[in-house]
Chain A
Amino acid sequence: MAPQPPDEIDRRVRESFGVEPAAIRRVVDAARAAPDGRPRRTWALRTAVAAVGVAALALAVAWWPQAQVVPAPAESVVSGSLADGMLVLTWPDGSTSILGGDRGDERPPDGVGIVLVEGGSR
């Protein structure tokens, strides 16, 4: 069978998608009745509001984990005692840590002195 000429293809496409005369009339009448002023940019407004909302949410999500960490005071005083090679520390929140290795050379010496403790409080 011979291939369809270009015009025939275009015509077939055009005629496949019929439009009702009443619809054409409605569209034309509505366009003619359009007011002269610029339309309200509801789409742009909605987009702007949505963008601000998303930005606020992103900021809140970024800030939240930081807000959960309560910084310890810079000059916290930790009291403790040394007994039998073990250092017993009482933290400001009331919890207790017992430090000291099993082997003798890892243990702090018995007695009284200054012990430097490094780390953060949680």
Chain B
Amino acid sequence: MTGQGSPVIVDLDETLSELAPRVLRYLVARLGDASLAEEIAQESLTALVRCWRNGGAPESAEAFVFAVARRRLGRAVWRRRLWVPLEQAVGFRDGRPSPESRAVARSEEARVRAALARLARPDREAILLVAAGELGMAEAASVLGVSASAVKMRVHRARARLAALLEADNGTTASG
């Protein structure tokens, strides 16, 4: 893992293999749509490959990839807001049920997703980059365009709120 104190990666193949699961996980957490997340992750890593081959490795490959992913994710979210209602209306998206084998994992995902949804957007973005994307504070700050201390504060706040929300949810589930 590069984000929290790991050595700098200089090999492109190694970088791709290391970043792919992290950016995919971050995008899945943000979008809740595995196929769209895969598409955007592919575009982001492709952008890195092109940059690397044309002008050399960027200063921080992970900051580069996550910045591209965030930008494309924003566009995808808008595209989805525009098109999904139409696609659902004409039956292109059938909303297939998840396999039973994933039911438990999905319920945990749903719980965490619900708790994340209750965070303030800047806090949610910061905790997702750091926890799901495994970025360091400096890289997350670079991706978000804010100072590292601001990211630290957001992550700290998000962790505390998330812990409280999940704790409350556990209590509700146990008593219910």
Chain A positions near chain B (C-beta within 8 angstroms): 1, 3-4, 6, 9-20, 23-24, 26-28, 30-32, 34, 36-39, 43
* Subset of 5 A-B contacts with CB under 8 Å: A4-B163, A9-B162, A10-B159, A16-B109, A17-B112
- Which of A13, A26, A27 is close to B112, meaning CB atoms less than 8 Å apart? A13
Complex interface bits, B39-51 against A, C-beta within 8 A gives 1, otherwise 0 = 0011001111110
- Which of B42, B54, B75, B127 is close to A26, meaning CB atoms less than 8 Å apart? B42
- Which of A4, A12, A17 is close to B25, meaning CB atoms less than 8 Å apart? A17
- Quote the shortest CB–CB distance from A13 to chain B (angstroms): 4
In the bound complex, what is the Cα–Cα distance between A19 and B163 (angstroms)? 23
In the bound complex, what is the Cα–Cα distance between A53 and B28 (angstroms)? 35
Task: Say whether chain A's binding surface is mostly helix, strand, loop, or mixed.
Answer: helix
Which residues from A are CB-within-8-Å of B130? 10
In the bound complex, what is the Cα–Cα distance between A105 and B26 (angstroms)? 87
- Which of B47, B105, B112 is close to A12, meaning CB atoms less than 8 Å apart? B112
Task: Say whether chain B's binding surface is mostly helix, strand, loop, or mixed.
Answer: helix
Q: Which of B47-97 contact A (CB under 8 A)?
A: 47-50, 53-54, 75
- Quote the shortest CB–CB distance from A102 to chain B (angstroms): 64
- Which of B16, B105, B131 is close to A31, meaning CB atoms less than 8 Å apart? B16
Q: Is the CB of A10 within 8 A of B42?
A: no
Closest to B47 in A: A39
Which residues from A are CB-within-8-Å of B105? 16, 18
Which residues from A are CB-within-8-Å of B49? 31-32, 34
Q: Is the CB of B41 within 8 A of A27?
A: yes
- Which of A4, A11, A15, A39 is close to B50, meaning CB atoms less than 8 Å apart? A39
> B132 near A: Cβ within 8 Å?
yes
Known: A9-B163, A17-B109, A23-B34. A34 touches B50 (CB 8 A): yes
Q: Is the CB of B38 within 8 A of A27?
A: yes
> B138 near A: Cβ within 8 Å?
no
Which residues from B are CB-within-8-Å of A26? 38, 42
